[in-house]
Amino acid sequence: MSDVYLARDVRLGRRVALKVIGRQSFSSPAAVESFLREAELTASFNHRHIVTVYAAGELQGSPYLALEFLDGETLRQRLEREALPRTEALHHALAISEALAEAHSRGVLHLDLKAENVMIPWDGRLRVLDFGVACRISDDQQAIEPASVSSATANPGPMGTFPSGLRGTPSYMAPELWLAEPATSASDVWALGTLIYELVSGRRPFRARSIWELGRQVIAAEHAPLL
């Protein structure tokens, strides 16, 4: 949805990650709304494990977001390089949990927590990124916006289809998201549990040959195999 550039703040002399909505998304009102929501929600945080927003604005009708530049690797890249020592895995799990707790305390669901959206800079202080599909929580702890815009049946049909418009990344989606039900803070906790499982074991709890098989596994009554 966006293009990200390494840029320099000429006034303060620091490097920034300049996120600009992509040309392919600019004509989509939903994409622009998602981009602006990410800017608003990310800017509301001031936490050591959540990426910092320096500025947001618009240039020639195109919204942009200036974020702190994090020189390092994603958690996905770290996992693909080698298995994590148990102490490092637990260190990362604690940092991600603290970031998620901060978001929830401010009434925000991330809804796309995964290894690709966690950055490990060379300074070692992990940051959670990308609140592009995030939304606010209502007083009853449900997402103000529905987790899915689909009105299709939640059960897989003969062709194995699930509702379209589901939000998030399938491997980390909670059962209620597969069922097109409203997201809650528990939806993020499910993703966190999946990520911690992956940190400790080096693999995800559910493995399937297709997205339809994955959905069936997640919504089934049986739990994932223990480590």
User: Of 34, 68, 102, which residue constitutes the final position of a domain?
Assistant: 68
Identify whether residues 126 and 55 lie together within a single domain. Answer: no
pLDDT value of position 137: 81
pLDDT value of position 158: 35
Identify whether residues 136 and 215 lie together within a single domain. Answer: yes
Q: For residues 96 and 104, give the distance between their C-alpha atoms in angstroms, rounded to a whole number.
A: 12
The answer to the question of residue 226 being in a domain is: no
Fill in the amino acid letter for 166.
Answer: L
Identify whether residues 41 and 101 lie together within a single domain. Answer: no
Number of domains, the chain: 2
More confident residue, 147 or 60: 60
Q: In this prediction, what percent of the chain has a pLDDT beyond 70?
A: 82
The answer to the question of residue 154 being in a domain is: yes
| Average of per-residue pLDDT values in the chain | 83
Identify whether residues 58 and 81 lie together within a single domain. Answer: no
Q: For residues 172 and 188, give the distance between their C-alpha atoms in angstroms, rounded to a whole number.
A: 9
Instruction: Name residue 67's beta-bridge partners.
Output: 17, 53
Q: Any catalytic annotation for residue 112?
A: yes
Q: Could you read off the pLDDT of 43-81 as tens digits, one per residue?
A: 888 899 999 999 888 877 788 889 999 999 999 999 999
pLDDT value of position 155: 43
CATH number of the CATH domain containing 38: 3.30.200.20
pLDDT value of position 168: 81
Domain around 32: 2-68
Q: Could you read off the pLDDT of 8-29 as tens digits, one per residue?
A: 999 888 999 998 887 666 567 7
Is 0.85 surpassed by the pTM of this model?
A: no
pLDDT above 80: residue 152: no
Considering 9, 112, 123, 139, which one is annotated as catalytic?
Answer: 112
Identify whether residues 210 and 121 lie together within a single domain. Answer: yes
| Residue 29 CB contacts under 8 Å (≥ 6 apart), including other chains | none
User: Of 68, 99, 117, which residue constitutes the final position of a domain?
Assistant: 68
User: Of 68, 100, 124, which residue constitutes the final position of a domain?
Assistant: 68
Segment (H or E) for 88:
helix 86-105
Identify whether residues 176 and 87 lie together within a single domain. Answer: yes
More confident residue, 103 or 161: 103
Q: For residues 131 and 145, give the distance between their C-alpha atoms in angstroms, rounded to a whole number.
A: 14
Q: For residues 60 and 47, give the distance between their C-alpha atoms in angstroms, rounded to a whole number.
A: 31
pLDDT above 60: residue 164: no
Identify whether residues 60 and 149 lie together within a single domain. Answer: no
